[in-house]
Amino acid sequence: MSALLLVLLAVFHAIAFAYFVLLNGYYLMASVFSFRALRRYARRLSSIDVDDLVSTAGAPPVTIIVPSYNEEAGCLEAVRSLLSLNYPEHEVLIVNDGSTDRTLEILAEQFQLIPAPRFPLADIETAPVRSVYQSRIHPNLWVIDKENGRRADAINAGINYCRTHLFCATDADCILERDALIRAVRPFLEDETTIASGGIIRVANGCKVGNGSVERVRLPGAPLAKFQVIEYFRAFLAGRVGWDALRIMLLISGAFGVFRRDLVVKVGGYSARSIGEDLEITIRLHRYCMENNIPYRISFVPDPVAWTEVPEKLRVLGNQRDRWQRGLIDTMVKHRAVLFNRRYGRIGMIAFPYFFVLEMLGPFIEAVGYVVLTLALVSGVASPYFAAIFLLMAIVVGMVLSVIAVALEELTFRRYPRTSDLLQLLILCVAENLFFRHILTYYRFRGIVSYFRGIDGWGSMERAGFGRAEGVVA
């Protein structure tokens, strides 16, 4: 083997090892901050009465904007959950984004929709709006019917017709818990500089859903969905809680976030062509406030819950993660001026580099790392003993991080009270690191390839609806 090839292998081994240390070190650090933050938050929760917040804190009116495309399977439960929220004054604004199924017909039948006058208060450019409807039985329920323009375009249409200072963006395949909205709005009541806040997303597959609420929490029956329960724990409880403690919240999930409407309008609304619109709008709000010297806070609150269906088929999971990776790359490239830019403080020096290096480039480093390691073993450059030790370390560290995420759940919210569920979660922490995370790496790497091939679609998404069957996908 040539000396040049040996040098290249050595260099890439060093890069892969540095990536491994940085990624897992970051998660361990975030987990430590999350543990401390969740303990403090749990003590605060014991002294908070949600009913007092609703009745005495002067909670501002909120418009809930729900972009909907072909959501006939789950739209009724989602709308019922939004109408039954424990909140003093809120409107529900469903934006039917050119659905080709019976979404609009079902909503019209169940909620007695009639044409009603409502005029836009902003002029963010969107696909044409065809009609506006109001429910005869729920006056705070409105439906905007428009031509298809994708999710961000639909949210922008909702923002145009929003009449309140705050709006909440969620999805038609989500169910908000009754107190979720007031808990998500609480940062705005406690700190007037708050411009956005996000809640936690939990997996609804396997749960019993009725009358617009999750009545019984259970683990999914499908193995693929079970693994995503662990993944969501790690992303939210061990990730975003830590980000919030460090004041580096770079992503408000598109499935559940509350925003100041005026600022979102000032930055031009959501990027209509973006498929990573939740990350992109959060970064744009950071940049706008910093560049204009506006004091601000973007928060994550761990107890407001949005329950969502997750994929149970590999094909659907692959489409989802491919799309997420393309959206991430598109946003990172668009806002690359933030990278290691001291002007943007912790966002530019910590948060953005994490997403750029570890999340955007990570799948490439991991995928190529496996290939290089295989070549090094076959050629005799790498020791099988060293390779085995490194892979074992990667598995053990991954397991530890997953167990920490489950521990954070158990020590704080404990939504899975059955001992059998806890045992399954611990077994999943082991199994996840043996193959599930490698599957995700493949799909994310595929997303990188798709981005450079210019693929711009969302991929097919299938839904069976809340509580209708095991095998629900999203």
Q: Average model confidence (pLDDT) for the chain?
A: 89
- Reading the block at residue 236, the tokens are 């939210």
Residue 357: name the closest of 25, 34, 11 by CA: 25
Q: What values do phi and psi take at 220, rounded to 5?
A: -60, 155
pLDDT tens-digit profile of 349-389? Answer: 999 999 999 999 999 988 888 887 777 777 776 678 877 88
Q: How far apart are CA 66 and CA 141, in angstroms?
A: 11
157: which residues sit within 8 A by CB, 6+ positions away? Answer: 95, 124, 126, 127, 129, 144, 146, 149
Instruction: Indicate the pLDDT class of residue 469, thresholds 50, 70 and 90.
Output: very low
Which whole number is the average pLDDT over 247-258?
A: 94
Instruction: Indicate the pLDDT class of residue 54, thresholds 50, 70 and 90.
Output: low
What does the pLDDT read at residue 2?
63
3-state SS, residue 67: strand
Q: What CATH superfamily is the domain 31-349?
A: Spore Coat Polysaccharide Biosynthesis Protein SpsA; Chain A (3.90.550.10)
**What amino acid is encoded at 424 in this protein?**
Q
Judged against a pLDDT cut of 70, whether residue 467 lies above it is answered with no
Comparing 58 with 160, the larger pLDDT belongs to 160
Domain ranges of the chain: 3-26+356-453, 31-349
What does the pLDDT read at residue 41?
81
Residue 189: name the closest of 40, 37, 36, 50 by CA: 50
Q: Is the dihedral of CA 270, 274, 275, 280 positive or negative?
A: negative
Q: How far apart are CA 411 and CA 340, in angstroms?
A: 36
Largest interatomic CA distance in the chain: 77
CA distances from 82 to 105, 130, 135, 240 (A): 19, 24, 14, 24
471: which residues sit within 8 A by CB, 6+ positions away? Answer: 222, 312, 464
Mode of pairing for the β-strands spanning 174-176 and 213-216: unpaired
β-pair partners for 90: 62
pLDDT tens-digit profile of 100-154? Answer: 999 999 999 999 999 999 999 999 999 999 999 999 999 999 999 999 999 999 9
What is the enclosing helix (H) or strand (E) of 224?
helix 223-235
- Reading the block at residue 468, the tokens are 């209708």
Mode of pairing for the β-strands spanning 90-97 and 62-68: parallel
3-state helix, strand, coil in the chain (%, to 5): 55, 15, 30
